[in-house]
């Protein structure tokens, strides 16, 4: 890593590590002795990082060091927190994770081992999730006497459904990687040790898109999906017109029509 990259990552705590290669930033949760549990310092740093990724970043891959992606909130900080502090703590997580979901570049989360509680909330804020065969999902908040606070009520319930999320919280039910891909926890499942390479490959593929198209996918699509149908369709028309009117779109369409661009092929 050159001095410029060192300077870019100087404000990251020890719990986060980042490398940048050819426009792809690989950000690693680095508390393996704590199963990558998320403390306040790490969550704040995640928010800052995704709010202002390193210069030249076109996509980000998020993964965990050691045997687990993240076992969730570091519970040691909860025992003395009062109600008022709890509200502000939850809102701080919301703010940090919104910077992932509605950031400027695609984010791919690579999951393995425990993807639990706040770790699952972090994963749900990414745009694409790749699960290794060892990944398992859980929401143990019910047995701990607490409730989710990092956005799961909104993001995870959209991915897997309210009823399934209720079951997980009420009964402690867990899901593995194989069933999780069918239920919406992830979009891909790969073998043990294969997740990071697949995540980087997907990041590179996403980075090849026109910047305005990726902007529409990241910023407009989630809001269209939540809007009432009439407003959503109008927003879609406006975004389609903006995208197709760009010089980048015209150049890419000409390349396709002149047979200078690849045709659609299956990408498993």
Instruction: Give me the active site residues, please.
Output: 121, 141
| DSSP letters for 93-127 | HHHHHHHHHTSSS-EEEEE-SEEETHHHHHHHTSS
Measured torsion, CA atoms of residues 61, 65, 67, 70, in degrees rounded to the nearest 10: -70
Number of H helices, E strands in the chain: 13, 9
Distance in angstroms (rounded) separating the CA atoms of residues 243 and 86 = 42
Tokens of 79: 């025992």
Name the E strands within 5-151: 16-21, 24-29, 59-64, 107-111, 114-116, 128-132, 136-138
Q: For residue 51, what are its two tokens?
A: 């709010």
Cα-flanking dihedrals φ and ψ of residue 55, to 5°? -55, 135
- The candidate with the shortest Cα–Cα distance to 73, out of 146, 165, 163, 125, is 146
């Amino acid at each position: 890593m050159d001095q410029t990259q060192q300077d870019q990552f100087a404000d990251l705590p020890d719990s986060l590590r980042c490398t940048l290669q050819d426009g792809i930033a690989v950000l690693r949760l680095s508390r393996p002795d704590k199963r990558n549990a998320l403390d306040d310092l790490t969550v704040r740093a995640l928010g800052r990082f995704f709010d202002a990724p390193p210069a030249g970043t076109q996509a980000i891959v998020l993964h965990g060091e050691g045997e687990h992606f993240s076992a969730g909130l570091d519970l040691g900080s909860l025992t003395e927190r009062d109600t008022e502090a709890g509200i502000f703590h939850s809102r701080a997580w919301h703010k940090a994770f919104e910077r992932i979901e509605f950031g400027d570049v695609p984010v791919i989360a690579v999951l393995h081992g425990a993807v639990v509680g706040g770790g699952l909330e972090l994963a749900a804020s990414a745009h694409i999730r790749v699960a290794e065969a060892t990944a398992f999902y859980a929401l143990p908040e019910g047995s701990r006497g607490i409730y989710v606070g990092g956005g799961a009520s909104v993001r995870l319930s959209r991915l897997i459904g309210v009823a399934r999320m209720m079951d997980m919280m009420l009964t402690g039910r867990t899901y593995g990687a194989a069933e999780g891909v069918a239920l919406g926890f992830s979009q891909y499942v790969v073998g043990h040790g294969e997740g990071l390479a697949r995540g980087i490959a997907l990041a590179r593929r996403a980075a090849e898109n026109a910047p305005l198209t990726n902007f529409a996918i990241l910023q407009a699509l989630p809001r269209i999906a939540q809007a009432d149908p009439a407003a959503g369709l109008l927003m879609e028309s406006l975004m389609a017109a903006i995208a197709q009117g760009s010089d980048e779109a015209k150049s890419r369409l000409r390349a396709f029509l002149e047979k200078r661009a690849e045709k659609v092929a299956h990408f498993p």
